[in-house]
């Protein structure tokens, strides 16, 4: 969220209020307990968002009460759930070996020997990419290969 002081006035935002990350709050604005300022909203100087009310738009307008599951406590619970259970997925699409990935498959290269000793499953995954079977590779392994510069999305 962007909070801007105007002259000597700083916005007051209650700790239980939800203000979306890309919302803007300016000057002598006040956001009360359990109020919710949604994405892209701009709360101008002097505006008050009452307790438990929802504000949206540019300039923000109060549109009614926030339903209980949408207040700050709900978002805190969601963030905890997401942190605990979200897992990245590989970008969808096709992949091809980079020059470094091709080198890793050369049995005479230092990189191949290093991977063979420490990351044998990476070599198996690289062979799968070379054969056009990237769908057989786990998301985590695809991301590792992308991060290490062994493959690239095409």
Domain boundaries, the chain: 2-73, 95-153
CATH number among 3.40.640.10, 2.160.10.10, 1.10.8.350, 1.10.4160.10, domain 2-73: 2.160.10.10
> Is pLDDT above 90 for 130?
yes
112: nearest Cα among 123, 98, 96: 123
101, with CB counted inside 10 A (0-12, 13-18, 19+), is buried
Give the residue-averaged pLDDT of 47-65: 95
pTM over the 0.75 mark? no
Separation CA 88–CA 66 (nearest Å): 31
- Per-residue model confidence (pLDDT) at position 27: 93
> Is pLDDT above 60 for 91?
no
């Amino acid at each position: 969220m962007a909070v801007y002081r105007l002259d000597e006035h700083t916005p007051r935002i209650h700790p239980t209020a939800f203000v979306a990350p890309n919302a803007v709050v300016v000057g002598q604005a006040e956001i009360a307990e359990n109020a919710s300022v949604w994405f892209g909203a701009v709360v101008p100087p002097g505006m008050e968002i009452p307790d438990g009310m929802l504000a949206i738009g540019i300039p923000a307008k109060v549109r009614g009460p926030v339903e209980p599951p949408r207040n700050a406590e709900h978002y805190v619970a969601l963030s905890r759930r997401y942190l605990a259970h979200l897992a990245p997925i590989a970008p969808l699409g096709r992949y091809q070996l980079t020059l470094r990935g091709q080198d890793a498959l050369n049995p005479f290269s230092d990189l191949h020997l290093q991977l063979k000793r420490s990351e044998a499953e990476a070599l198996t995954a690289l062979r799968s990419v070379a054969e056009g079977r990237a769908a057989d590779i786990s998301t985590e392994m695809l991301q590792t290969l992308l991060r290490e510069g062994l493959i690239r999305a095409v």
